[in-house]
Chains A and B, each alone.
Chain A
């Protein structure tokens, strides 16, 4: 479970008050960190690290080791640049997320493996963030989760339904190979071939340039 640091905006008058108080507290924490307070810096990293990892880095990099490395790199950049951060009334998370996205871009370029996102997708996202009004952490986390699922759903919709079904059962629902093979009415060996073809179809869809659709 990813912790929600700030109460949602507009929940209620009490919720708004709690949110304002939480923002004030976070602002004080940021100011202390900017003046060199180690404990405050540690608290900020500790608060937001799990959300950055689970909703920003891991889905985009598609690899746990790469996401952990990227989180460390993000932390390193944050401590280097904390004095450049200027407070906005949506907390510290949006800035932290942008730093993480930039780290993820570098990581994707270095690895050159097919995942759901490409470095160019992230660049577009960072550019869009610069001109968009930042939203608070809870909203952004929800958007990130929905975006990951939507990308996957769109890719599965674009391939043969039998392949999509094989992938959903075996990969997304993590059901055993033999069970999925039985459900699809094939032998396990035939299911292996089916899954291999399904993976090739998925890769082809993900590697398709956005302009290919036009």
Chain B
């Protein structure tokens, strides 16, 4: 079966753009009216694409000036962002500086503790218990036989006490220092 009616167009109707005097179709008349309304009222919605294109051409030919109020608002918004960015950077620097200064102080304190600690007096300067005779440990004559172990034990205890006292003296807490502190406590 065939029909006399022309087939429906598959896409939007294109105006005969090469012939200005060709008679317009109904669609063309409607589109021309929409363009007229769009040009007369730029705020009209929905926006007419043809009117927008012509407005773009007009703006390229003669651009409008930027409204000072719009410029001020854009500047203020950008500067608010600038403040935020800068505050963040400054904050970061302050934190890093604080941390750095803290670390530097800690390192300096550690260095002072290590290097500035009163040096242990060399053994020569410390008054140590000198090697001495063990005779003073014994006030009586030894028996010809027996009692050796007891004597050796006594000597070992005395030598251990001397050794301990020498250690204390090297560490600065020898008998003399303890006596001084005791004196201070009594005052």
Contact = CB atoms under 8 A, between A and B. Distances in A.
Interface SS majority for chain A: helix
A77 to B, nearest CB: 9
Query: Could you say which interface size class chain A belongs to?
Result: 35 or more
A21 interface: no
A196 B35 contact: yes
A200 B75 contact: no
A192 interface: yes
Contacts of A152: 57, 60-61
B139 interface: no
B78 A113 contact: no
Contacts of A38: 79, 82-83, 86
Interface in A106-149: 113-116, 148-149
A76 interface: yes
Nearest to B54: A171
Interface string B1-44: 00000000000001111101000100011011101100100000
B66 A53 contact: yes
Contacts of A116: 56-57, 60
A42 B60 CA distance: 28
B20 A194 contact: yes
B62 interface: yes
A80 B75 CA distance: 13
A64 B17 CA distance: 29
A49 B53 contact: no
A148 B82 CA distance: 33
Interface string B46-78: 000110111111111111111000110011011
B71 A50 contact: yes
A162 B17 contact: no
Contacts of B31: 196
Given A58-B60, A58-B64, A171-B61, 13 more contacts: A36-B89, A75-B77, A79-B78, A79-B85, A113-B52, A114-B53, A116-B57, A152-B60, A192-B36, A193-B24, A195-B35, A196-B50, A199-B53
**A-B pairs, 3 with minimum CB distance:** A62-B56, A75-B78, A196-B32
Interface of A: 1-2, 36, 38, 41-42, 45-46, 49-50, 53-55, 58-59, 61-64, 68, 71-72, 75-76, 78-80, 113-116, 148-149, 151-152, 155, 159-160, 162-163, 167, 170-172, 174, 177, 189, 192-204, 206
Interface of B: 14-18, 20, 24, 28-29, 31-33, 35-36, 39, 49-50, 52-66, 70-71, 74-75, 77-79, 81-83, 85-86, 89-90
